[in-house]
Structure 1
């Protein structure tokens, strides 16, 4: 079935902006739902074929009516206020799946995470991600594909850019869980996987893992960031006991730069071990070294939106 109209939840976020632009530029009509319509999102508003809609009091099924597919990208890394892991990853996922069935939408693409597991997840984040994933796959009458990416990088990501900021603050950066391993994946490759899966029946029912071409330790990635920005900051890996104490202390801060749940998630390597989504879809993922030097330098020298403009269309 040719997908002509798609509704995206989380479309104003990091992955969402890349995916919405790709879908719209391919000719799809895209509805982007947001809880905060007053927060302008120029990257989306200027793209043809895109409608930015306030969720308001309209039931999800009302927004989904007439769509060929729904994409749910909503997720949180830490709980804050009324936003809980269970509410966002489980209850919302169930509501989205039920609304798809009610509105007659046949297709759902769902963002999960590597190591998501409702029973054996090592953190609340991974447990609830797994529970939400299981729930949408169990929805009768709905063709579901879920995606499990490793850490996602690119312009304005919350990984490399966060460490870039920390590296500039002091001559030494103490790093928790330095030997945790990641398989970073480029945001535009993730967007390509979602877009291609929409009309690829081979992906129905699949839980596709997405990882880049190389595996790194966290310390290697932070040191790469320092070298790229010509910073001489010394990165020192913390012993596990100190890392756990750091997480407990930071967990009490309002912004939670590093939480105890984050620490637990880092106890398990974020690398592909299941079905490789890129291999199935014929996508060759791009490397950290091939993308991030340009993005980090552009942001560093010309402001936070320069890198996005520079990478538009790539």
Structure 2
């Protein structure tokens, strides 16, 4: 029976992944700085929550002992250059060393579509550097590069639905940016499928998959979709580039996590769609669901808002 260490298991994707791992009958360990952060998953059978700082390399090495594999979901969307380096680059480097010290070879790492050393944003460049930090050592490594992830409990379509419930019009920076959204359930299925696969102990291997859905939509189209599904459609007002950047800067100054930052706009200056350079979810046997088939199930007032079975029915898989 597999035992999986999940870094970032208390987040949006992590919560869905932990449910999938439970359904596989596997044992899961979720480290977190504060146990209360894991309230959404700690009820799952065969799941252990441990209070730990995964950025402490010695503690990370201890956590890895006794596990068959590790999944790294830890990421931030906003932050300074130092914050992106700390989370996206230094942690993977520590993980690679900790795996070597503990003897754990199987690693599934969630990166980002468009990650490249010459990408236009700090976020995407740091994601590329994080991938590179994992390459040294005898790791059996799978890198998954998702586009924007949607699904029950997301902070993407739900945010736009909430905005349209309160605003008469939605001012939108980067309205023409193109995305290929992937359903969270398809992404975590890719993780589970990857965990089932392992190369021979004699050699290391790195596989990369682009995790995208079948629809390519602009940000404005996604906002309108969220409005229709939630029953609060509002006009979308695309902003000129300079005004959009000024708005993003103002959002950065607001307390708490910003809804958008200038670095987000930099990321959106290039299409967030599959390049075709790497295999997609179909190579893992996954027929990706479209955002149009799933979103009404959790955004609609009478739709299914959570639960794997209901969402698969809404996607035509029940």
- Alignment correspondent of 1:54: 51
- Alignment correspondent of 1:92: 91
Where do residues 301-312 of structure 1 align in structure 2 (5 Å cutoff)? 307-309=305-307
Mapped contact 1:31–1:50 kept (Cα < 8 A)? yes
3-state DSSP class of the match of 1:205? strand
Q: Which digits, 9 at most, give the CA deviation of each residue in 1:52-95, with x for residues without a partner?
A: 11115761111110111011000000127x98111000011111
Q: Which digits, 9 at most, give the CA deviation of each residue in 1:235-262, with x for residues without a partner?
A: 1111112111211222222232211111
- Partner of residue 278 from structure 2, selected from 260, 275, 278: 275
Q: Which digits, 9 at most, give the CA deviation of each residue in 1:86-124, with x for residues without a partner?
A: 10000111111211111110111111001111x201111
Mapped contact 1:123–1:261 kept (Cα < 8 A)? yes
Deviation at 1:143, TM superposition (A): 1.1
Deviation at 1:199, TM superposition (A): 2.5
Where do residues 1-314 of structure 1 align in structure 2 (5 Å cutoff)? 4-42=2-40, 44-55=41-52, 59-79=59-79, 84-117=83-116, 119-136=117-134, 138-201=135-198, 204-255=205-256, 256-273=258-275, 274-297=277-300, 300=301, 307-309=305-307, 314=312
Inter-partner Cα distance in structure 1 for 2:279 and 2:159: 28
Inter-partner Cα distance in structure 1 for 2:29 and 2:310: 21
Deviation at 1:201, TM superposition (A): 4.2
3-state DSSP class of the match of 1:268? coil
Mapped contact 2:208–2:279 kept (Cα < 8 A)? no
Inter-partner Cα distance in structure 1 for 2:38 and 2:18: 15
3-state DSSP class of the match of 2:209? strand
When the two structures are aligned, how many residues end up with a matched partner? 303
Q: Which digits, 9 at most, give the CA deviation of each residue in 1:183-217, with x for residues without a partner?
A: 00000000000100112247941121110011001
Deviation at 1:308, TM superposition (A): 2.1
Mapped contact 2:297–2:311 kept (Cα < 8 A)? no
Deviation at 1:139, TM superposition (A): 1.9
**Structure 1: gaps spanning 5 or more residues:** none
Return the TM-score normalized by structure 2.
0.89
Deviation at 1:28, TM superposition (A): 1.1
Deviation at 1:37, TM superposition (A): 0.9
Deviation at 1:18, TM superposition (A): 1.1
Inter-partner Cα distance in structure 2 for 1:229 and 1:313: 16
Mapped contact 1:183–1:215 kept (Cα < 8 A)? yes
Mapped contact 1:193–1:277 kept (Cα < 8 A)? no
- Alignment correspondent of 2:315: none
Return the TM-score normalized by structure 1.
0.91
Mapped contact 1:171–1:232 kept (Cα < 8 A)? no
* Residues 310 and 206 (structure 1), Cα distance of their counterparts in 2 relative to 1, 3 Å cut: closer
Mapped contact 1:112–1:149 kept (Cα < 8 A)? yes
Deviation at 1:311, TM superposition (A): 5.2
* Residues 313 and 68 (structure 1), Cα distance of their counterparts in 2 relative to 1, 3 Å cut: farther
